[in-house]
Amino acid sequence: MEISLTLSNLVEWIEAHATTIDVLKWIIVGLLAWGLGAFRFIRTKLKRPKLEVESFTSRCIWQELGVVGGNDHNARVVFIIEVGINNPTTDPIVVRDFTLKVKRLKGWPIRNHPLNAVTLPSRVRHNIGNITRFLKNWFSNFPEGPENLTLGPRIESRDHQSGFLLFVSASWGYMRPLVRRGAIPVELNARLTTGENLTAHANIAIMEDHAAFEEMVPGILDHVQHRSTWNIIRTQA
């Protein structure tokens, strides 16, 4: 009997407050829609392509140049960086280019232009005794090793690609790279054909043994002597 009265009272209350019930219903529907939209947004962000710097295998060397172009205290830093891109999406992506921004002693008031990658002189390799293992690199073709060691700009759906790139910084004064605990802080960017920019930060360890650096990339020391490899920047967006 008490249950019947309670249900009866509830029905009467609902009938008497029909407008309030409609408002509450639409509020609940709106909250559910917002929650589902936020969930999709978060899921999309989590599944976006990701740029990675393999700090364990990336290295740089520091070379003091002295006077260049009338300016003293010039330093050339040669970066060999292993760059990876993970594409967890259901669509392929295409990389337009990679750029590297090097942390400077003082960036202002001089603009710190990001550097474009320079063609490697040979494939990066890892020597173990009499065994040489050729490693992947982006874009440049070489006679050493199979063609699949050269990565193209297209990365398929749910795929990951990783390869080496070369960047050369030559600077003086406050534009010399900042050294922090034996490494140089950098910001790497990949520009996609969709207009999206991927960014990764890393500290690239300075390699003191230049001969070992040359063994890793034969011809690299002669290659970076040419000023045409220094400070390559993109002049147009």
Could you report the per-residue pLDDT of 18-77, keeping only the tens digit for each?
777 777 777 888 787 777 765 555 555 558 999 999 999 999 999 999 988 888 999 999
Q: What is the pLDDT of residue 74?
A: 93
Q: What is the pLDDT of residues 87-110, one digit of tens each?
A: 999 999 999 999 999 999 986 777
Q: What is the pLDDT of residue 9?
A: 65
User: pTM of the prediction?
Assistant: 0.80
* Low-confidence winner among 50-54, 86-90, 191-195, 233-237 (lowest mean pLDDT): 233-237
Residues 6 or more apart from 45 whose CB is under 8 A from it? Answer: none
Question: β-pairing, 150-151 with 137-138?
Answer: parallel
Tell me: pLDDT of 127 over 60. yes
In the chain, the amino acid numbered 171 is: S
pLDDT mean across residues, the chain: 88
CA-derived radius of gyration, the chain: 28
* DSSP, res 109: S
- In a 13 Å sphere around the CA of 195, the CA atoms on its Cβ side amount to 0
Average pLDDT over residues 193-220: 96
Tell me: pLDDT of 178 over 90. yes
In the chain, the amino acid numbered 193 is: T
- Residue 196: C-alpha distances to residues 10, 45, 59, 113, 191 (Å): 55, 12, 27, 19, 6
> In the structure, what pLDDT confidence band is assigned to residue 189 with cuts at 50, 70 and 90?
very high
Rounded Cα distance, 61 and 75, in Å: 10
Q: What is the pLDDT of residue 17?
A: 65
